[in-house]
Every structure is written in C-alpha cells, then in structure tokens.
Amino acid sequence: MPPQDAASTSRTQASDEQFRLGWILPVGLALLLVAILTLLTLLLLNPPWEDTPVPDIQDRLSALSKSDLEVEKLRQETVKLELENRSAGSGWGLLLSYAPFLTAIVAVAGLFATVWKQISTSAQQRIQDRHEQALENQRRFDQRIKDRHEQALENQRRFDQNFTKVVENLGSASPALQASAAVSLATFLRPEYSRFHDQVYMVVLANLKIEHEQPVNDLLVNVFEQSIRLRLPSASQAARRYLLDLSRASLDRVDLSGLDLQEADLGYARMRGANLTGTNLFRCGGIAINLERARLTDANLEEARLREARCRGALFHRANLVSARLEEAQLIEAQFEDARLQGAHLQRAALQGARFWNADINDAFFADAMFDSAALKSIAKGAKNWRNAHFTAAVSEKLNAISDASASHST
C-alpha cells in the first residue's frame, strides 16, 4: 500500500475511532502507541543507516575528454536522480512522508490528554465541592440540633426559675402575691408548655386543698378548670388515680361539665354551685361532699357513694342515680325531676321540699327518711313506681292517703 494511502487510511481510522469513542484519553494514547510502532516497523524495514555506494566522481573526471564529460555529466545526473529516489524510498524518506500524519497523531493525543485532564480535574472538583457541601450541611444540621438543645435547656432553666417563683408566691402570706401567682400559673398552660401541664395541675390542686382567701381561691379554680381539661383526656388509668383525687379541695362554682370523672374521690370536697351537667361520676366516692346548689342535670351518678352529702337545692334533673348511695344526705329542696333512682339508697336522708316529679323510684330505699308534705305530694302524685319503693309504715300511710285523696278528687 502506498504511504499516502496508508496515511490517509490511518487518519480515517483515527477519525472514525475518535467519533465513536469521543474525547477519551485511552484512545489517544492507543493511537500514539500505534503510530510509534508503525514508525519503528518502517525504520526496521528500511534502515537509514545503510548508505548507497557513491562512485568516485573526481577520479573519473580527470581522465575523460570533453565529449566524454558531457556523457559523464548526464550519467552523474542520472545517478543523482537514482540516489534521490533511493533516499525517498529509504526509512528517513518514509519518516519524512509520514511526518504530517505523526504530527497530527501527536497533536490529537496532546489534545486528548488536555481534555481528559480538564474533565478529570472538573469531576474531582465537583466531587470535592459536593463533599464540602455535604460537610457544610452536616455542620449546619449539627449546629441547629445543638442550638435547639441549648434553647431547650435555657427554656427549662427559665421555666424552673419562673415556676419556682410562682409556687413560692402561692405560699406567701400576702394575698396580693398569691393572686398574682395564681394568674401567672395560667401562662404555663399554653401549648408550648405541654410537658409541664401535669406539674401545673398538681400545684393548683394542692393549693386548692389549702385555705386561701376567696378571690385567690376563685383564681385557682379557674386555672384548675383549664388544666384538668388539658390533662385528663390523655391520662392513663394509673394517672387518673391521683388526678381525680379531689378530696378536701375547695372547688366552689367549678365548671366540670361533660368530663369523665368516674371513680373520682370527692370526699369532703367543697363544690357549692358547681356545674356538673352531663358529668360522668360513675362510682365516685364523696362522703360529706358539699354540692349545695350544684347542677347535676344529665349527670351519671350510678353506684355513686355520697353518704352524708350536702346537696341542698341541687338539681338532679334526668340524672342517673341507679343504685346510688345517699344515706343521711342533706337533700332539702333538691330536684329529681325525670331522674332515675331505681335501687337508690336514701335512708335517713333529709328530703324536705324535695321534688320527685316523673322520677322513677322503683325499689328505692327511703327508710327513716324525713319528708314534708310537699315532698310526699310530689312522690304520691308524680313519681313512677313509688308503690314498689321502700318506706316506713307511717310514710307509706301518708302516701296512700294523698294518692287516694287525689283519686277521689279527680272523680
């Protein structure tokens, strides 16, 4: 194959290889290696160090005539042309003929090397940048966590200081400081202090069991209403035992309507005028509890134990008092309209002025209970199943007399 065709073919192959493989350093290095091997092969096949013998021209010219000189001149020119042709076909000639090709190969290889270096440098820089960015993000994240932790510690420290001061002021001898502390307690019921709500509740409840002046007590009751509604719904069964220990607490006019206070301890608690509408007081215990003028409409007092309770003027409209124990209770002027008192125990209870209109007193116990004419009339004329209730003989006679008189009058 002629050198020009070989060079052209090599350039075409290199161009095709470059097009297929792109700017990749290994391709450039491979082409460079091929070019070097090709050059070495050509040099080995046509070594430039093998010189062609050249005749001694000076010696021959001295012996020739003029005509012979012309002939000799032509012959020397022919020899010169042969030598030039031989030089062109030698290794050095081939080398010179391949020089543009080799130059192009070296240039392409250099370009590949430069581009590859730039690509590698750029890739390494991107990797380094991403690594540094990841480190910076991690540092910022760690710093935020640290800042939040320090902020939480600072908030806890401030809360402890403020809370301790409030508690100290509640125990102060100054009613003004006590009132200020009671108002400050409400601020700790905000959502951001949710983890402290239990402490606030216990502090308030403890102070409600201590004698305070009425204005301070009213403020504490207000905080108690808020805290019990926040704390009670999420309380476990074990936590309810101490949360609902309301014994001896001063809770006048407290609003506990609709709450679930079943099995609460209300012993000796003072809840005059309390709003217990719809409250669940199932099996609550409350010996001597004070519920004067309290509203217990629709309340559930089933199996409640309220012996000696003071419930003068209390409203039990539609209340569930099935099997409730109200022995010796003060129920003067209490209202039991539409209440359910089946199986209730009201032995020795004071029921003067009580109203039982439309109440179901089936199997209720009224032994030794104290009635006045108004209470007896409401039973005989308005109570359901009163003949199945348990009264003393004297009370039964009075009830029958009232009933008979009412029947005769209607006829």
Residue 201 contacts residue 227 (beta carbons within 8 Å): yes
| pLDDT tens, position by position, 198-245 | 999 999 999 999 999 999 999 999 999 999 999 999 899 889 988 999
Cα–Cα distances (Å) from 272 to 288, 289, 304, in that order, read: 12, 9, 18
Helix (H, G, I), strand (E, B) or coil at 345: strand
In the block, which residue shows the tokens 């940048």?
129
How much helix, strand and coil, in percent to the nearest 5, is found in the chain? 60, 5, 35
Q: Which amino acid is at 291?
A: L
For residue 70, pLDDT over 50 is answered with yes
Q: d(Cα 191, Cα 378) in Å, to the nearest integer?
A: 51
For the chain, give every domain's residue range: 3-50+90-131, 171-237, 244-411
Q: Which amino acid is at 147?
A: D
Q: d(Cα 364, Cα 13) in Å, to the nearest integer?
A: 114
Q: d(Cα 85, Cα 352) in Å, to the nearest integer?
A: 150
Residue 219 contacts residue 182 (beta carbons within 8 Å): yes
Residue 285 contacts residue 245 (beta carbons within 8 Å): no
Q: Quick one: what percent of the chain has pLDDT higher than 70?
A: 76
The model's confidence at residue 14, banded by pLDDT at 50, 70 and 90, is very low
The pair of three-digit structure tokens given for residue 263, joined into one six-digit string: 């099995």
Q: d(Cα 368, Cα 383) in Å, to the nearest integer?
A: 19
List of residues 6+ apart from 169 with CB closer than 8 A: 177, 178, 180, 181, 184
| pLDDT tens, position by position, 92-133 | 555 555 566 667 666 766 776 777 777 778 888 889 889 889
Helix (H, G, I), strand (E, B) or coil at 177: helix
Q: What are phi and psi of 363, to 5 degrees?
A: 60, 20
| pLDDT tens, position by position, 78-87 | 767 766 665 5
CATH of domain 244-411: 2.160.20
Q: Which of 254, 174, 260 is nearest to 220 (CA)?
A: 254
For residue 182, pLDDT over 60 is answered with yes
pLDDT value of position 377: 96
